[in-house]
Amino acid sequence: MDSTISTFRGALLVVFTASCLLHGSRGEIPPQPTGGGTLLPPVKPEAPQAYPDAEKSNLPVFTMDYPRIQIPFEITMWVLLASFAKIGFHVYHKITIWVPESCLLISIGLIVGAIMHSVNEEPPAVLSSNVFFLYMLPPIVLDSGYFMPTRPFFENIGTVLWFAVVGTLWNSIGIGMSLFAICQIEAFGVQDLNLQENLLFATIISAVDPVAVLSVFEDVSVNEQLYIVVFGECLFNDAVTVVLYNMFSFVADMPTVEPVDVFLGMARFFVVGLGGMGFGILFGFVAAFTTRFTSKVREIEPLFIFMYSYLAYLVAELFAISSIMAIVTCALTMKYYVEENVSQRSCTTIRHVVKMLGSIAETLIFFFLGVVTITTEHEWNWGYIMFTLLFAFVWRGLGILVLTQIINPFRTIPFNTKDQFGLAYGGLRGAISFALAFTLPDSIGRKPLFVTATITVILFTVFIQGISIRPLIEFINVRRTNRNLDTINAEIHCRLMDHTMAGIEDLCGQWSHFYWKDKFMKFNNRILRKILIRDSRAESSIVALYKKLELQNAMEILDTVSGDISAAPSIVSLYEDKKTSAKPKKRFLAADLKSMHDMLSKNMYKIRQRTTAYTGKHTLPNDTHAREILIRRHTTIRRSLRPGSFQSSAGTKSQKYFSLPAGKSLDSKLFPPERVSFTDDQETMSEVAYPSRRSRFSQPARSSSRAMMPLRRLDTLKEVSSVEVLNEGRGESGRTGRGMSRTNSSYSDSHVPAPRRHFSASADNNNSSADDFRNVHQEAEEEEEQQQPSSPPPAWAAEPRDNSTTQNPLLRRPQWNPKK
């Protein structure tokens, strides 16, 4: 992504310079030297005869045309400013632990607003209704929809919808009615507000936006149910709120409301909601189906995802049905299939971009919230605003209390009082409310009052509740879920439990979600996957986790070994979540890890490969080998399998040994040969993260020494202590060399005969599998050769055999031979 942008910029620059040169060389005087080649410079009518008059006015050395670039320029500056603010918060970690990021953004916005106000600058006119709904909202919602934890969501979908739909209705109507009652009191001087306007305002106010809360919940790791209910609520009540808002703003214009309108409104409500969902699912499937065929156009693959989701959004908007619902369901539907279809890189890109756009949109909104708070006109009415605050708080609390009482009997795990408190107190108001208030039609007489009241409520909830929720949640000790438990055993047992539950439910003849989940999975595996996924080989979650742990392992090794990879965690943490705010996480999302796995393995290879890949404009570089990581791994395994080290480092790190040795077998056996070559073939690479990528183009001089490397590496595999290699490596390129040297030296440390003894003990009963491995290797190799007849350097030819032979002994773990 990054690289494409930078190349794009580079291209622009080239165009720019070229056009300047051209203009200059022709001796023309462009009246307004322009920035890019996109627009033709306005040419004077007498331009063809320009040569004679060229001397009349000298070539302007420096000109400026600000109005031309004003809008994009200002947008860029705003985005940059907001992003800088975000960077700033994370310089000092402790702030973001105690103060939610949204608070900080608003504060910065307030400061900027104050500055602008003092110089009488106009606030940015960005927040018009259209801009918000067409450009700012979709990324935010897509972000939440795409990163929605699917399983808990579907397990709690009833509760989520219950709170989102009924809860929002409850809040809107409750607050609206009570405010209307307040309006009847003459002392406040707001009698001119009618019921419709109050309801409209109440709708705005009841849109809960728990971004800040979610990050707290995540850090504290509250139980899954609470988390997902808050998450889902914020998503779907956006939808409900927007529907209600449209309805009420329609109604607010009408002089009288007839009962028919109420019923029509209800009917419309369902049309809007279900229609949005329908479009979402439709577009989701279409997107998934499309990605089935994108294997040849990897570089534009991610685009489909964005275009389809945006299309879903726009089409829904076209029919005036819930566009939020549409984009969320679209993201939910396609995510699963798309991520299987697209390459790892595209997958990374998609996640990355979704996150990036989402967080930028959100940052901007909070930022503008701060700015607008200062610069906009306010109408302060103590009574109305204070009561708004009070009602917003009270109705939320009451709503949760009542609604949980109703929903609890239907839940397997009921919400207890603490959960209810978390739900109620998590009801912060945020971006949506603000944007809706700000885009209120001007026909509403007391718009400034509404804006002021909304901003007050947002500021109050975000600052007071947002800051206090963490200590409170920690204090009342809400039930926690350990979401980061990824051991193989845990995964196996999760699956075991799922199947047990499904089985027991079958046995006792009642079907709740385990049953339906089971049914859906079957349907999914039999039909949907076949249609939507190119390579419809279902992958067990256990296997996935196994690979992931293996990757984690590799990551740890690389972290300690090579500076080259140090960039990897940073990408992950970026797209992992904007909510990671406070502490850097040790563990990553499963899918992230999975994608990192492949990224990593390829990147490792590329360190050496980079000179060989030259690509055309529309094709992506090709790397057909992903083995070096394994080689490195073997050396580390050897080190770790040494009896001494097994004992000494066994404490916290010991759990990682298990995944190493069998790793190769997974890689080669789980992926059918086509798959191997297919994943290898799309080396778009998240070139974002790897500084080394540049040198592929810029340092051809290295090629010769690089070409030597593979041979050397093979030597290490043959257990020849290879200190010269590392010296050479070090001399050759800074980081890479250092990384390798460390591996090698640690390897040569471990060059101890001890392990052999253990291997041989069990070697005989594994001969057959050794053969297996070799076959698979060769198969894979042949596949690759077919695909890329030219690319594999000869130095690699010998390697597979080496791999399989050296690695097989490693597979035998002496510690716990099965009782035979």
Q: For residues 505 and 728, which CB has a smaller minimum distance to other proteins in the complex?
A: 505
> Which of 32, 129, 489, 570 is the binder for other proteins (CB under 8 A)?
489
Give the chain's largest Cα–Cα span. Answer: 101
Q: Decide: is 495 part of the binding site for other proteins (CB under 8 A).
A: yes
Listed ranges 309-317, 448-456, 543-551, 685-693: which one lies at the site for other proteins (CB under 8 A): 543-551
DSSP code string of 446-498? THHHHHHHHHHHHHHIIIIIHHHHHHHHHHHT--B--TT---HHHHHHHHHHH
Q: What is the DSSP letter of 579?
A: G
Least Å from the CB of residue 482 to other proteins:
4
Per-residue tokens: 200: 């409209």
Please give the angle made by the CA atoms of 275, 278 and 279, to the nearest 5 degrees: 90
Least Å from the CB of residue 506 to other proteins:
4
Those residues with Cβ within 8 angstroms of residue 380's Cβ, 6 or more apart along the chain or in another chain = 452
Q: Decide: is 477 part of the binding site for other proteins (CB under 8 A).
A: no
Q: Decide: is 507 part of the binding site for other proteins (CB under 8 A).
A: yes
521 vs 281, 499, 502, 545, CA distance in Å?
17, 12, 12, 19
Q: Decide: is 77 part of the binding site for other proteins (CB under 8 A).
A: no
Q: For residues 431 and 629, which CB has a smaller minimum distance to other proteins in the complex?
A: 629
Q: What residues from 183 to 212 belong to the interface with other proteins (CB under 8 A)?
A: none
Listed ranges 55-63, 324-332, 447-455, 507-515: which one lies at the site for other proteins (CB under 8 A): 507-515
Distance CA 315, CA 328 (A): 14
Q: Decide: is 50 part of the binding site for other proteins (CB under 8 A).
A: no
Contact 328, 567 (CB under 8 A): no
| 347 SS3 class | helix
Q: Decide: is 182 part of the binding site for other proteins (CB under 8 A).
A: no
Q: Decide: is 778 part of the binding site for other proteins (CB under 8 A).
A: no
Q: What residues from 654 to 673 belong to the interface with other proteins (CB under 8 A)?
A: 654-655, 657-659, 662, 665-666, 669-670, 672
> Which of 19, 225, 388, 562 is the binder for other proteins (CB under 8 A)?
225
Per-residue tokens: 594: 């999975």
* Residues that contact other proteins, how many (by CB under 8 A): 80
| 516 SS3 class | helix
Please state, as a whole number, how many other Cβ atoms lie within 10 Å of the Cβ of residue 311. 18
547 vs 335, 540, 804, CA distance in Å?
20, 11, 19
Q: For residues 81 and 521, which CB has a smaller minimum distance to other proteins in the complex?
A: 521
> Which of 47, 81, 111, 492 is the binder for other proteins (CB under 8 A)?
492
DSSP code string of 243-285? HHHHHHHHHHHSS---HHHHHHHHHHHHHHHHHHHHHHHHHHH
> Which of 257, 467, 494, 528 is the binder for other proteins (CB under 8 A)?
494
Least Å from the CB of residue 408 to other proteins:
8
Distance CA 813, CA 417 (A): 50
586 vs 57, 347, 552, CA distance in Å?
65, 21, 10
Listed ranges 101-109, 161-169, 537-545, 728-736: which one lies at the site for other proteins (CB under 8 A): 537-545
381 vs 120, 144, 448, 450, CA distance in Å?
25, 35, 10, 10
Q: What residues from 514 to 533 belong to the interface with other proteins (CB under 8 A)?
A: 514, 518, 522, 525
Q: Decide: is 643 part of the binding site for other proteins (CB under 8 A).
A: yes
Q: For residues 694 and 757, which CB has a smaller minimum distance to other proteins in the complex?
A: 757
> Which of 28, 261, 498, 785 is the binder for other proteins (CB under 8 A)?
498
Least Å from the CB of residue 493 to other proteins:
6
Least Å from the CB of residue 641 to other proteins:
9
> Which of 504, 531, 797, 798 is the binder for other proteins (CB under 8 A)?
504
Q: For residues 32 and 416, which CB has a smaller minimum distance to other proteins in the complex?
A: 416
Q: Decide: is 412 part of the binding site for other proteins (CB under 8 A).
A: yes
Of 324, 383, 385, give the one whose Cα is nearest residue 139.
324
Q: What residues from 124 to 153 belong to the interface with other proteins (CB under 8 A)?
A: 152
Distance CA 271, CA 267 (A): 6
Q: For residues 416 and 560, which CB has a smaller minimum distance to other proteins in the complex?
A: 416
Q: Decide: is 767 part of the binding site for other proteins (CB under 8 A).
A: no
Distance CA 160, CA 534 (A): 33
Q: Decide: is 769 part of the binding site for other proteins (CB under 8 A).
A: yes
Q: What residues from 415 to 454 belong to the interface with other proteins (CB under 8 A)?
A: 416
Q: Give the rounded distance of the alpha carbon of 477 from its chain centre.
A: 29
Listed ranges 182-190, 429-437, 494-502, 561-569: which one lies at the site for other proteins (CB under 8 A): 494-502
Q: What residues from 321 to 380 belong to the interface with other proteins (CB under 8 A)?
A: none
Q: What is the Cβ-side half-sphere exposure of residue 236, based on CA atoms within 13 angstroms?
A: 27
Least Å from the CB of residue 763 to other proteins:
16
Least Å from the CB of residue 718 to other proteins:
24
Q: For residues 117 and 517, which CB has a smaller minimum distance to other proteins in the complex?
A: 517
Distance CA 740, CA 710 (A): 12
Listed ranges 132-140, 175-183, 204-212, 477-485: which one lies at the site for other proteins (CB under 8 A): 477-485
Q: Decide: is 775 part of the binding site for other proteins (CB under 8 A).
A: no
Of 526, 683, 690, give the one whose Cα is nearest residue 615.
683
Q: Decide: is 817 part of the binding site for other proteins (CB under 8 A).
A: yes
Of 352, 26, 396, give the one whose Cα is nearest residue 174.
396
> Which of 143, 155, 197, 218 is the binder for other proteins (CB under 8 A)?
155
Q: Decide: is 401 part of the binding site for other proteins (CB under 8 A).
A: no
Which residue has 């926690």 as its token pair? 480
Least Å from the CB of residue 819 to other proteins:
6
Distance CA 538, CA 527 (A): 12
Distance CA 701, CA 706 (A): 9
Segment (H or E) for 142: helix 137-146
Q: For residues 378 and 813, which CB has a smaller minimum distance to other proteins in the complex?
A: 813
Packing angle, helices 344-375 and 567-576, rounded to 10: 60
720 vs 623, 640, 752, CA distance in Å?
28, 18, 12
Which residue has 């964005």 as its token pair? 306
Least Å from the CB of residue 654 to other proteins:
4
Q: Decide: is 542 part of the binding site for other proteins (CB under 8 A).
A: yes
How many residues belong to the chain? 820
Q: What residues from 548 to 607 belong to the interface with other proteins (CB under 8 A)?
A: 549
Listed ranges 202-210, 280-288, 323-331, 639-647: which one lies at the site for other proteins (CB under 8 A): 639-647
Packing angle, helices 673-681 and 767-787, rounded to 10: 50
Least Å from the CB of residue 415 to other proteins:
9
Contact 381, 190 (CB under 8 A): yes
Q: For residues 479 and 735, which CB has a smaller minimum distance to other proteins in the complex?
A: 479
Q: For residues 522 and 801, which CB has a smaller minimum distance to other proteins in the complex?
A: 522
Listed ranges 359-367, 460-468, 489-497, 558-566: which one lies at the site for other proteins (CB under 8 A): 489-497
> Which of 505, 556, 715, 749 is the binder for other proteins (CB under 8 A)?
505
Q: For residues 218 and 518, which CB has a smaller minimum distance to other proteins in the complex?
A: 518
Q: What residues from 734 to 763 belong to the interface with other proteins (CB under 8 A)?
A: 754, 758
- Which amino acid is located at 536 in the chain? S
Distance CA 234, CA 427 (A): 9
Q: For residues 615 and 648, which CB has a smaller minimum distance to other proteins in the complex?
A: 648
- Which amino acid is located at 702 in the chain? R
Q: For residues 11 and 543, which CB has a smaller minimum distance to other proteins in the complex?
A: 543
Least Å from the CB of residue 512 to other proteins:
6
